[in-house]
């Protein structure tokens, strides 16, 4: 990296200390590495975030609405660029010198799509039914969390008929945020296991993350993905693109 010919950006990562310990340890190593490379990055307590005492500020209201689910947060030259997870090494490199700016006329909507099997009787399987409940809860929670940023979630629910499901069972119980699968935003992987109900004896989709496997998608993971996606919507394509390669270039997913 030719740091002398590029203007160094300031990266500040604010954490509460209550985040996942594995993620904290990974980021601590990444932070040391980045600082050794000359990257202008610092890790600070959330109490040191500028304007935290000003409850009328958009960022403060965002943090208060998120109630811990939006932490850690990363500021790039004083502007929010990531929330809900620690930045990766690749992101720290990319953000350190590249010329980024908030998009003029920034998108004010966060598209969310949830897709599941719905049979001819209007029934679905237990895990899709349970995920449907958590999707609705997460959607309403994201409305409150993202309002201070001027971003409105928009939820679309898609039904797969039995013929479509039989041809591609892994397409049921899928969620996308801003066009990217849930897994891409949070560093998870898709799996499968035998299901029941409307799925019959077919395998249905599961979600694997942090050594745990979920049949129904937890509300907390949906909120995390929504927060990560929404905060990066505000920035130029080169910032947003980093989310697509987060797990493909880093084996240290949070």
Domain boundaries, the chain: 11-105, 109-223
| C-alpha–C-alpha distance, residues 97 and 41, integer Å | 12
Taking residues 49-69, report their average pLDDT: 75
Instruction: Return the CATH fold of 11-105.
Output: Glutaredoxin (3.40.30)
Report yes or no: 40 and 8 within 8 Å, Cβ to Cβ: yes
Picking from 78, 97, 83, 140, the residue whose alpha carbon sits closest to that of residue 9 is 97
Q: What is the pLDDT of residue 203?
A: 78
Distance of CA 167 to the CA centre of its chain: 29
Token pair, residue 218, equals 């937890």
| pTM of the entire predicted model | 0.82
Cα angle 205-210-215, degrees, rounded to a multiple of 5: 25
Q: What is the mean pLDDT of the chain?
A: 83
Q: Which of 138, 209, 128 is nearest to 174 (CA)?
A: 128
- Please, are residues 127 and 119 in contact by the beta-carbon 8 Å criterion? no
Model confidence pLDDT, tens digit, residues 207-239: 999 899 999 999 999 999 999 999 887 775 544
Residue with tokens 């130029």: 236
Of residues 118 and 14, more confidence is placed in 14
Retrieve residue 78's tokens. Answer: 């004083």
Give the per-residue pLDDT at 147: 92
> For residue range 119-135, what is the model confidence (pLDDT) as tens digits?
878 888 888 899 999 99
What whole-number distance in Å separates Cα of residue 179 and Cα of residue 168? 19
Greater pLDDT, 194 or 60: 60
pLDDT tens per residue across span 138-161: 999 999 999 988 899 999 999 988
The pLDDT of 84-112, averaged and rounded, is: 82
Instruction: Give the chain's radius of gyration (CA, Å).
Output: 19
């Amino acid at each position: 990296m030719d740091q002398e010919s590029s203007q160094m950006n300031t990266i500040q990562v604010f954490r509460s200390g209550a985040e996942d310990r594995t993620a904290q340890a990974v980021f601590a190593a990444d932070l040391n590495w980045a600082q050794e490379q000359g990257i202008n990055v610092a890790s600070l307590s959330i109490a040191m975030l500028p304007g935290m005492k000003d409850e009328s500020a958009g960022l403060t209201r965002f943090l208060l609405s998120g109630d811990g689910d939006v932490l850690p947060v990363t500021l790039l030259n004083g502007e929010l660029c990531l929330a809900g997870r620690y930045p990766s090494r690749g992101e720290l490199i990319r953000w350190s010198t590249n010329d980024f700016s908030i998009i003029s006329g920034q998108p004010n909507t966060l598209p969310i799509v949830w897709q599941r099997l719905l049979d001819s009787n209007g029934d679905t399987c237990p895990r899709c039914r349970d995920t449907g409940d958590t999707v609705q809860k997460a959607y309403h929670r994201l409305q409150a969390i993202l309002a201070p940023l001027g971003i409105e979630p928009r939820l679309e629910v898609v039904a797969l008929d039995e013929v479509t499901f039989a041809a591609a069972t892994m397409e049921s119980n899928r969620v996308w945020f801003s066009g990217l699968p849930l897994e891409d935003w949070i560093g998870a992987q898709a799996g499968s296991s035998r299901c029941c109900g409307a799925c019959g004896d077919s395998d249905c989709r599961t979600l694997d993350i942090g050594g745990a496997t979920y049949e129904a998608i937890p509300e907390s993971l949906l909120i995390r993905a929504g927060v990560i996606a929404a905060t990066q919507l505000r920035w130029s394509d080169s910032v947003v693109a980093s989310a697509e390669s987060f797990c493909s270039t880093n084996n240290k997913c949070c």
